[in-house]
Structure 1
Amino acid sequence: MRLVFMGTPDFAVETLKALIAAGHDIACAYSQPPRPAGRGMAERPSPVHAFAAAQGIEVRTPASLKSADEQARFAALETDAAVVVAYGLLLPKPVLAAPRLGCFNVHASLLPRWRGAAPIQRAIMSGDAESGVTIMRMEEGLDTGPMCKVRRHAITPTTTAQSLHDELAALGARLMVEVLAQPEISCTPQPADGVTYARKIDKAEARIDLTRSAEEVRNHIHGLSPFPGAWFPVKATRLKALLCEVVQASGRPGTFLDDNLTIACGTGAIRLLRLQREGKGAMEATDFLRGFPIAKGTEAA
């Protein structure tokens, strides 16, 4: 097919790679405009922009698709379909209607659960037993379009936002290729029941509440790992917890129960396995303790 690809972050690059490998003609890639990044705050192209340009694909980075001129430029590509993955801009009706077969989206959840901006993080933080990918034909509503293909993926006690991101990026890429290979793409309406919204992650949510159960604390930590990173203060230092496990122990919430980073929660306890001090890199627990020992009985502030 002749396709236009619309995406911005690393998550989207996997689908673009798969479409190229499957032999599709990528007429153009759309991505968010370059943003200031790094110490010098120089403008940096998005991962999709950088990858597409390296493949010799034309890249467009409009700040909006609302103008008639921008919509006419899009329609002039005369594509069979648009593939949209974490693009970051709403598609107006004329854009949705321009490709011959419509616009198809890779969404990292089992729709209609977790429509919106942060489905990967919200699924883990809420203690869901599974996540997955939905390929849908897009319409004007927020992630409301009919479903063309769904694939489930388990969430385990060791799943983090990063690991689930990587697994679903690869799964979504394969699924989109399968959908476009069908002689006729059929889609079914989403169920009316079970709708939830995955609001954008706010950094104010990152502080860990150790009065919650050990399972809830673990889900909070893993759902925000590695970014923005769930944290709590210890010895006047902010510690980001990146990986942990639930253990059978108890004590006053926020108290370290041994010298090996076991900390009591509202019910049960967790053992920190990977963490990060302010101004330092992420470390495994044993390496962390060599430079920042935390003794039994220490209280998290």
Structure 2
Amino acid sequence: MRLVFMGTPDFAVPALRALHAHGHDIAAVYSQPPRPAGRGKAVRPSPVQRAAEELGLEVRHPVSLRANQAEWDSFAALQADAAIVAAYGLILPPAMLTAPRLGCLNIHASLLPRWRGASPIQSAILAGDTKSGVTIMQMEAGLDTGPMLRADSVPITAATTASTLHDQLALMGAELVLHVMAEGAAPQTQPEEGVTYAPRLTREDGRINWQESATAIDRRIRALTPWPGTFTTLPDGTVIKIGAAALSGDQPHAPPGTILDDRLSIACGEGSIRLLALQRPGRGMMQADAFLRGQTLPAGLRLGEATTPND
């Protein structure tokens, strides 16, 4: 088929590569414009743009599609059979949704109608869901409300992180969209019951509230690593980022946030958790034993609140 591909982050790259490898004619790739990134704030193209350029595909990156008649006309002139959209980042106006012969298909990282919106992977882990998945959806004007074409699921376990689930679902999305392109699918209307929304995340979502249960804190760390990342603070206000943790199973007799031992077990509102990887300002993430060689955190010290960490 003659396709347009629209995506920006790493999640979309496996689908782009798979469609190209299976012989689909990709007329153009749309991606967010290159932006400053990293400590040096050098301007970098998106992962999808880099992959498209490696494949020799035309890349377009309009800043906005709102009231952009010239871009709408250019998109329609591609005369695509379908547009495949995966975490593109811009809202498609009706003129673009209806331009391809078969419309626009979205690779969405949840089992719709659960977790419509911007952060379905993280939201599923945060909520304690036992499974997640990918839905291929026919796009319409509403937020992830269109008819479902195909879906598949994977379990969420106590070891699942946002990173591992992201990678599983990215590969699953590529496989599912290939099936839809090859075999077609009968659209199924999304049920009205079971709708939930996954909000756009901010760095403040990563603040650890030690009043929560150890289970909830463990889920937050797994869900928000690597971005936006989770953090806590020392009594002097120093912000410490947390990269990994494990449930310890103990119910301490200490206020939430109290360090319980020399293994960095921390009292929570219910139960306790042990910190496994931490990062002090200006340093890289390191294992707890290495972290403690340069930072004394004695038992009895209580972790508290502070401002959101800088990049």
Please give the TM-score of this superposition, normalised by the length of structure 2: 0.93
Cross-structure match for 1:186: 186
Any conservation in 2 of the 1:203–1:228 contact (CA below 8 Å)?
A: yes
In structure 1, the residue matched to 2:90 is 89
Residue 31 of structure 1, CA deviation? 0.7
Q: Distance in 2 between matches of 1:263 and 1:186?
A: 51
Aligned with residue 251 of structure 1, among 250, 253, 278: 253
Partner of 1:282: 285
Residue 77 (1) aligns with residue 78 (2)? yes
CA distance in 1, matches of 2:45, 2:55: 14
Q: Which amino acid aligns with 2:20?
A: I
Partner of 2:307: none
What residue in structure 2 maps to residue 153 of structure 1? 154
Question: What residue is the counterpart of 1:291 in the other structure?
Answer: 294
What is the alpha-carbon distance in structure 1 between the residues aligned to residue 142 and residue 224 of structure 2? Answer: 27
Asked if structure 2 preserves the Cα contact closer than 8 Å seen for 1:251 and 1:265, the reply is no
Identical pairs, percent: 55
| Secondary structure in 2 matching 1:26 | strand
Counterpart CA distance in 1 for 2:278 and 2:150 is: 37
Structure-2 residue corresponding to 1:37: 37
Q: What is the CA–CA distance in structure 1 between the aligned matches of 2:198 and 2:40, rounded to whole Å? A: 33
Match status 1:268 vs 2:267 = no
Question: 1:1-301 counterparts in 2 under 5 A?
Answer: 1-65=1-65, 66-182=67-183, 184-236=184-236, 237-249=238-250, 250-252=252-254, 253-301=256-304
Q: CA deviation at 1:40?
A: 4.3
Q: CA RMSD in A?
A: 1.4
1:40-73 Cα distance to aligned partner (Å, 9 max, x none): 4332211111211121100111122232221111
In the aligned structure 1, how far is the partner of 2:235 from the partner of 2:283? Answer: 16
Report if aligned partners of 2:205, 2:228 keep a CA contact under 8 Å in 1.
Answer: no
| Structure 2 unmatched ranges of 5 or more | 305-311
Q: Which segment is superposed worse, 245-254 or 135-144?
A: 245-254
Q: Normalising by structure 1, report the TM-score.
A: 0.96
Task: Kindly state the Cα deviation for residue 271 of structure 1 after the two structures are TM-superposed.
Answer: 0.9
Offset of residue 293 of structure 1: 3.6
Q: Secondary structure at the match of 1:104?
A: strand
What is the aligned residue count? 300
- 1:144-193, CA deviations, whole angstroms, 9 ceiling, x for partnerless residues? 011111111111112111121111111111111111110x3322011110
How far apart, in 1, do the equivalents of 2:265 and 2:182 lie?
Answer: 51
